[in-house]
Amino acid sequence: MVGKDCVAIACDLRLGLQALTVSNNFPKIFSYGSQVHLGLTGLATDVSSVSELFRYKVNMYRLREERDISPQTFANLVSSSLYERRFGPWFVSPVVAGINQTDGKPFICGFDSIGCIDFAKDFIVSGTASDQLFGTCEGLWEPNLGPEDLFETISQALLNAVDRDALSGWGAHVYIIEKDKVTKRLLKGRQD
């Protein structure tokens, strides 16, 4: 979700096998460098594999370039890496959020499982509660929210959406990304 000079990314913590809850502490957001964050929903083995694949790729980028990766570059890296597996895809739908350190502008985007990028100006949703998230985000989000208002908006959007989805929930992680600061907050939410 985009705000004024800030972005936010949030995820729930449930890991399940259809209706069976396997874990209630499975974060789906991973950070690459100081500002770039990747959210991954879908098949849990692929979530782990893909997050580690990008850790490797981003570390190699940093060694070669001697600088952090920008969110735009990372988005293109995600897209091309996913399309490499065009006919045997990773079963994930990623979301990227970050602030470009060069121009200080917020950046978010989403992907399908084979890397088609969705550049959005407002918000990106993904996962089993995507319908519900579309409804809450479309209803609650407004342009130019400050960091604290953006935190409240993304939290309310996520919590109320996952409460209407049987396959999501068990608390949440929320990251508020500003130009020189990242705040991570843990939300309890409904534990059922």
Partner 1 sequence: MASLFQQSMPSTGPGYSFASAPTHHSSSGPRQHAFYPYTDNGGSTLGISGATFTILAGDTRSTSGYNINSRYAPKLFRIGGDGPENEGARIVLSVVGFAADGNALKERLDTMVKMYRYQHGKEISVHACAQRLSHILYGKRFFPYYVTAILGGLDDEGKGALYSYDPVGSYEREQCRAAGAASSLIMPFLDNQVNLKNQYDPASGEGLEKVMRVPEPLPQETVEQLVRDAFTSAVERHIEVGDGLQMMIITKEGVQETFTPLKKD
Per CB under 8 A, does 142 bind partner 1? no
The smaller minimum CB distance to partner 1, of residues 11 and 58, is found at: 11
Structural contact between residues 165 and 128, judged by C-beta atoms closer than 8 angstroms: yes
Helical ranges in the chain per DSSP H: 44-65, 71-84, 130-140, 147-162
DSSP string, 127-146: STTHHHHHHHHHHH--SS--
Per the listing, tokens 């502008």 go with 105
Instruction: Select from 6-14, 20-28, 44-52, 131-139 the region that touches partner 1 (CB under 8 A).
Output: 131-139
Per CB under 8 A, does 136 bind partner 1? yes
Structural contact between residues 39 and 7, judged by C-beta atoms closer than 8 angstroms: no
Which listed residue (52, 84, 131, 148) binds partner 1 by CB under 8 A?
A: 131
Which listed residue (124, 159, 174, 176) binds partner 1 by CB under 8 A?
A: 159
The smaller minimum CB distance to partner 1, of residues 5 and 152, is found at: 152
Per CB under 8 A, does 95 bind partner 1? no
Per CB under 8 A, does 140 bind partner 1? yes
Per CB under 8 A, does 160 bind partner 1? yes
Per CB under 8 A, does 114 bind partner 1? no
CA dist., res. 147 & res. 45, Å (int): 33
**Smallest separation, CB 41 to partner 1 (Å):** 17
The smaller minimum CB distance to partner 1, of residues 104 and 139, is found at: 139
Length of the chain, please?
192
Beta-carbon contacts of 112 under 8 Å, excluding residues fewer than 6 positions away, are: 93, 118
Per the listing, tokens 């991973």 go with 30
Chain positions contacting partner 1, by CB under 8 A: 131-132, 134-136, 138-140, 155-156, 159-161, 163-164, 189
